[in-house]
Structure 1
Amino acid sequence: MLRKLLSYIIPIKIYKTNSALSKTIEVTWANGELVLDSENTNYSYGSLQRILRKGLKHFGFEKIAKMNNALVLGVAGGSVIKTLVDEIHFEGRITGVDIDPDIIKIANEYFNLNKIKNLNIVIDDAFEFVLKTKDRYDLIIVDIFQDTKMPNFLFEKFFVNRICFLLKSKGIILFNTMCLTPSDNVRNYDFIKEFNDQGYKIQSIPRVEIHNELIIIEKLD
């Protein structure tokens, strides 16, 4: 409790480790809450939770709560999953996919992710998972970073077509991107401009928490 109170004055680091995939991972008390950070950016809770919460609010919590099957690609500490369960009261099935077993261990130990009954965690590469899964989803959240970098495959047409294929009727994709350089802005602009599937609607919410842009894809039928 003392560390929590002191964290309103100064961040207090309580755990730090190295991961082959995520490099440095830190758990810190900041402004009265536990957050998970990589070397250069927030991975879960804190600003990242606010970013994805804003995307979910765009559709309305009531609409999200009525969905049955959600897929989260990129779990980290599981802050968006906690938003789904604790704030939206989502009672459907949640599948969380993360490539890094070390970060899931931390999520379980410090953020009690393993106590969420309707959550199934899969340790796998997101690209490989979406190729293999036979399920269909009402909501797909893409939140994949390696520190401040985003894997190139996320913006490739094959991957985008595949996750669109996995959507149920009226399904939603919430894609969190980071824009740190002019080339990142161009990448997102081109991605949105070149998306031309008539069965879907694409839009963006730019400059969320300064450096993030949410790209939203909705299946129209």
Structure 2
Amino acid sequence: MIIAEKIKESCGALSVVQRGNMLALRNGNVGYSCIYTDDSIYQPILIHIQKLIEAYTSVYTIKNALVLGGGCCTIPRFLIKRYHNTICIDSVEYQSEIIALTRKYFLEGMNVDKLNLINDDAYTYIHNTPKQYDFILVDIFVGDMMPQKTHTDMFIKDLECHTSCTSLVVFNAYKCSLDQCKELCKQGESLFDTSFVTVDSDGTYYIVFIKGNIDKSIIEPFINA
């Protein structure tokens, strides 16, 4: 394991760690992002989300994507490679140090002309942006916990207001209990056409909201929690 760079910041020490063809950003024992540095399309973490996106795009096209809690662009990297740089992506990250490390290490050799790294608070951004998106990933954490503000009705409504008429919203609910996920899922039931909780092979839950009519057979494999 090689530590490419380590910097101190208000919440601890950020480390860029390389092992073979994998590059990761960590804060102590907490992993923030991880990518493959080679030509791999699929990235080493959030595999369940990548598969869900693929299933969704068998029906609908994603033209504009938003990642709230962008980290070092794991999902943007997948989107760029899988869809041949056809998606305009906004990646919102609160910590400027993470954005600087992303630019320095995590985008090397990538075609990033449609990737916009935004240094802003995720909640402020989604409340104020005039844009609408076909895909939104909520990947917001303080340390390894999802902030309580993510569970509020106002935040869910902001997401709904800034999604297009056919759209996919996914929450990474790492460390949330199934009951917490089901409660958050209920908050979006009146705003989205489809809502469900899904779980990956490691036991991490994700909350999914979909606008538009989608064939149940496409999402059925993911309704497993």
**Aligned counterpart for 2:46 among listed residues 41, 44, 52:** 52
Q: In the alignment, is the contact (CA less than 8 A) between 2:134 and 2:163 conserved in 1? A: yes
Q: In the alignment, is the contact (CA less than 8 A) between 1:67 and 1:90 conserved in 2? A: no
Q: In the alignment, is the contact (CA less than 8 A) between 2:50 and 2:78 conserved in 1? A: no
| Structure 1 match to 2:119 | 123
* Superposed displacement of residue 200, structure 1: 2.1
CA distance, structure 1, for counterparts of residue 191 and residue 88 of structure 2 = 29
**Aligned counterpart for 2:207 among listed residues 207, 212, 215:** 215
**Aligned counterpart for 1:12 among listed residues 2, 9, 28:** 2
| Residue identity matched to 2:51 | K
Q: In the alignment, is the contact (CA less than 8 A) between 2:181 and 2:206 conserved in 1? A: no
| Structure 1 match to 2:101 | 106
Counterparts in 2 of 1:83 and 1:59: CA distance versus 1, 3 Å: closer
Q: In the alignment, is the contact (CA less than 8 A) between 1:53 and 1:83 conserved in 2? A: no
CA distance, structure 2, for counterparts of residue 155 and residue 208 of structure 1 = 24
CA distance, structure 1, for counterparts of residue 141 and residue 17 of structure 2 = 19
* Superposed displacement of residue 87, structure 1: 2.5
CA distance, structure 2, for counterparts of residue 154 and residue 62 of structure 1 = 24
- Describe the superposition over 1:10-38 as per-residue Cα deviations: whole angstroms up to 9, x where unpaired: x3322221222x42211112353111112
| Residue identity matched to 2:115 | L
* Superposed displacement of residue 105, structure 1: 0.3
The worse-fitting range, judged by mean Cα deviation, of 142-151 and 112-121 is: 112-121
* Superposed displacement of residue 207, structure 1: 4.1
* Superposed displacement of residue 198, structure 1: 5.9
Q: Normalised by the size of structure 2, how large is the TM-score?
A: 0.81
* Superposed displacement of residue 117, structure 1: 0.6
Secondary structure (helix, strand or coil) at the match of 1:173 reads strand
* Superposed displacement of residue 96, structure 1: 1.0
Q: In the alignment, is the contact (CA less than 8 A) between 2:135 and 2:163 conserved in 1? A: yes
Secondary structure (helix, strand or coil) at the match of 2:173 reads strand
User: Higher helix share goes to which structure?
Assistant: 1
**Aligned counterpart for 2:26 among listed residues 28, 37, 49:** 37
| Residue identity matched to 1:213 | Y
Q: In the alignment, is the contact (CA less than 8 A) between 2:193 and 2:209 conserved in 1? A: yes
CA distance, structure 2, for counterparts of residue 198 and residue 73 of structure 1 = 19
| Residue identity matched to 2:46 | L
| Structure 2 match to 1:202 | 195
- Describe the superposition over 1:109-167 as per-residue Cα deviations: whole angstroms up to 9, x where unpaired: 11127861101111110111111101111011111112212211111111011101211
| Residue identity matched to 1:215 | I
Is 1:170 paired with 2:160? no
Secondary structure (helix, strand or coil) at the match of 1:102 reads helix
**Matched-pair identity in %:** 23
Q: In the alignment, is the contact (CA less than 8 A) between 1:74 and 1:142 conserved in 2? A: yes
| Structure 1 match to 2:72 | 77
Counterparts in 2 of 1:146 and 1:173: CA distance versus 1, 3 Å: same
Counterparts in 2 of 1:88 and 1:57: CA distance versus 1, 3 Å: farther
Structure 1, unpaired ranges of 5+:
1-10
Q: In the alignment, is the contact (CA less than 8 A) between 1:62 and 1:88 conserved in 2? A: no
